[in-house]
Structure 1
Amino acid sequence: MDTAEKIILFCFLLQGVCCRDFNITLPQKIEALNGSCVIIKCRFEIQKQYDKDLTERATGLWLKDGINVNNNLVFNSSTSSQNSFMKGNITGKLKDKDCTTVFHELRSYHSGQYYFRIEGEGELTWTYKETSVSIHVVDSSPKPTVQLYVEQKEVQDQEEVLEGRSVSLRCSAETLCSSPPPTLTWSSTPRIPLSESSRLEELISDLNFTATHRQHRVTFTCTITYQLQDETKTAQDSITLHVQYAPKISPSSSCTRTDVTVCFCEADGNPSPELEWHLSGRPVTNSSNTFISEERLSSTGLRSSITLHQSLTHTSTLQCVSRNTHGNASQLFQLPSSVAREFQFCDSSNRRTSVINLEMKNM
């Protein structure tokens, strides 16, 4: 390429940069809630030669489902909108090429394709027929989305959360235009810290807490509410938390005695725990002197009972041991050895938690 060709190419590119044409920036599609409003973000450009005609007296028009002013005009910023097909106003300054518009009280028949037209002084008149925005009026508000974060990392709701981990449930919603603005609420205990943030097009609410076994299989529901003139509309999304935790033995575990001593132990854990009985530190199985039975209470709960022959209660200590992949727990039962003796129920640290005076029958 010689010098002359380079100069011609440079001039052509420079002309393309400096030359302005009629163009407009609009969203492709907007959803609006029936009975509410819609905000159309809009900016336009004109050819440089018409800059002098774009004054404070410029007028913005909206055409629906066509570009014929006589047949398709639905809004004119220079006249009152009360009697117009579309009620609203242009909130942007047309002189600054900002045609952002708000329409109110939308109904299903307002759905359609909308084109913008600018009319200034002098010869400035232009319909942007190449670009339009589709407005779709819906009867139901869009659902919010609930996401689970563990230690600030997003996970799927099917995954298990380990007890003690930091958990955040985030509810986010793409908000539609309404007055007053929509709100997000959680159907959970108010003791859980709540944080909220709001942007022009998105509403966010976070629940932050430390996972415990009490929240296993708890369903958290987030609801978005729109207060409209003639009704209230809501939509919601839910998530069920699955928490894994080490076994916990119920404090109601105890022993009773008539002709024989019967003790029972209840444990809860996720995954479901196993239960063992130990006499004097050694595992016990069914025998002529002991009988052990188990009952599944739930997907995470297990109850085991042991029946002891009288001869074993004089010299033995009894312990219930529960285990799963996340840890273990135990309870110690100090068995009575005489006709009137105290029975002690101790926790895994061997601290006495209750004392029961058992009156034994004479054998």
Structure 2
Amino acid sequence: MNRRLLIRIVFPVLVFSLLTACNKDENRYVFIWDQTFGPGSALDVAMAADSGIVVCGTSSGKPFLKKITRGRVVGTDCTMERAGSFTSCWSDTASFVVAGSSQGSLLLAKIDKMGELVWDTLIDGSFYIDVASMARRNDDTFVVVGSARVDSLRDGVSGLLFVGFDIDGKIIFTEELVETTSIFAEGMAMDGNGNIYLPMTRRWGDDNPTAGAAKFSAELHKIWESELYNNPNYGAASMDIEYDDGMLYMTGRTETLRKEEVVNNSFVVALNPSSGVDIWKSYREKSNTGVDVTIVPDLGLLVLNRNCFVASLADPVDGTDMGKIRMFNGCDSYSTTEIGASVKVYYDQSLLIGGARGGSIFVALKGTDLIDEF
């Protein structure tokens, strides 16, 4: 073949291949939709009954809730006139129920679809509360667990505050769990029988925290508590837990060395919900913490890592690495201001994520079609 003709044929093919590869790489970091909403952080995201988005968190140091319509317009907007944050939200077609904290007290509230506060209540525990996790029972009542954050360094012993209430704000029960060691639980899961699963972290005085999990009956009797393998030279913490199809999945962080410096290392573990025995455990991202875990249909088990919103994928059967979804190009987990907090599977099977970007409330929808192998 004529050399000049060969070049004329091959060169356009090479250029096309390079452009296609570049476009694919650029598209890897494109969101289906994303929005920032001013100073603060989205701490929980959920799907609304009309295919909209519900997001709650802290805005300029105050608890907020927003409902974003299917047309991506803010339809409901409520910011409370008190310090604190909402860390868990639920909605139906008429209202929103939220749980969080305000100056160390458990905060519960109901907001109507116009953004008006229907009721709110503060419940004090014998310890400081930073975060609340909420689940809805089969009888249309709610259970919330209030806890200090694992990273909080306060005098005294931290425990757990369990509260049951209905949609009208009537308190059904309150019960504290306080022991000789500090206990933390920043997430919660519930099965069809009302059993409660907590990502349990313990800390003895000034010792390193240890990661574990616990199961409570619907009547709040502890059924089991298990401790994951914890190297006493390093700290570890459980951050979130998910019950799905007879399996229990939990994520969090342990510590490891990075260039002779101790850094966080996210993990995910599968547990037997009947016994708490771990089935498999997988370490995911260095300089990172797993903050949310969920099952994505036809894709696998997904762990949202705090730094850079990196989504790690694993086979739910044995924990085999199935790749990751990167949200931001060039994001360094070691020094980022892109901080993930919550992930859900949206109606169209995209990922609904919430957190903070550059110090601002950040909410986005991300496709799951571009997965890095490494």
TM-score (norm 2): 0.19
TM-score (norm 1): 0.19
Larger-gyration structure (1/2): 1
More helix per residue: 1 or 2? 1
